[in-house]
Structure 1
Amino acid sequence: MESRASDEQVTINNAVFVRQDGNANDNWDTITSVSLSLTTPSGSVNCNASSFPDPSVPSNVYPCADSTYSFQISSRPGYDLYAITVTHKVSDSVTLTGTANVGCNGPIPMSCSQVGSRQATLTAA
């Protein structure tokens, strides 16, 4: 019997969402790039993406600098709130996943910087 992987706590920090007003209704609905950092049990991991489909949410899954980690913008619960799903492929048979809502704020609608660190608990499916 395979043992279950332990849950993993990660913290999402320093996220920056660069956006466009794709349909001219002032809701800044199209994401053009995202950068963020993860604080993991083994250290910091940088994550960046600059190629987003239209519509941008949900996005594709993007690898981080440590390729065992990846992220996706899974939804946009509010004008300035994004649900970020983080995945950690621990082994070929164990993958941990968790989601945290990341709020952002100006200085201008086109560039939205994270407000406060957000923690996600990654769990096995």
Structure 2
Amino acid sequence: MDFLARTDLHITTWVIAIILFFVALAMANPKVIHMILRVFYILVIVSGVALFIKGMDFDQGMLYGFKLLAGILVIGMMEMSLVKKKKGKPFTLFVVLFFVFFLIALFLGFKLPMGINFLA
């Protein structure tokens, strides 16, 4: 499981997932893209949980827990946005919540010891 607890693997999977999310939002019928995106959800969650377990060594479990929760909420808002769009219902609230939770997760990811320290 040590190969999953790599920051570069996690960042790559969520960057690809976000790109696929915006592509799916822009398309009229994103059925295939949505299915590929769901695979990336799983990859992001698995690599994130592996980083969470590894992050317990830094004695900041609560912050890593908040980041894990924010990441799960980001994925939830992505999925809810696409499902609401597919059903023809208003989905802008979920897109706004996606950005809010994404910024929280991004801030915590860069602030915590295993992240790239842009905020120092």
Bin for the TM-score computed over the shorter chain? under 0.3
Structure 1 or 2: more strand by fraction:
1
Q: TM-score, normalised by structure 2?
A: 0.25
Kindly indicate whether structure 1 or structure 2 has the higher relative contact order, using CA contacts under 8 Å at least 6 residues apart: 1
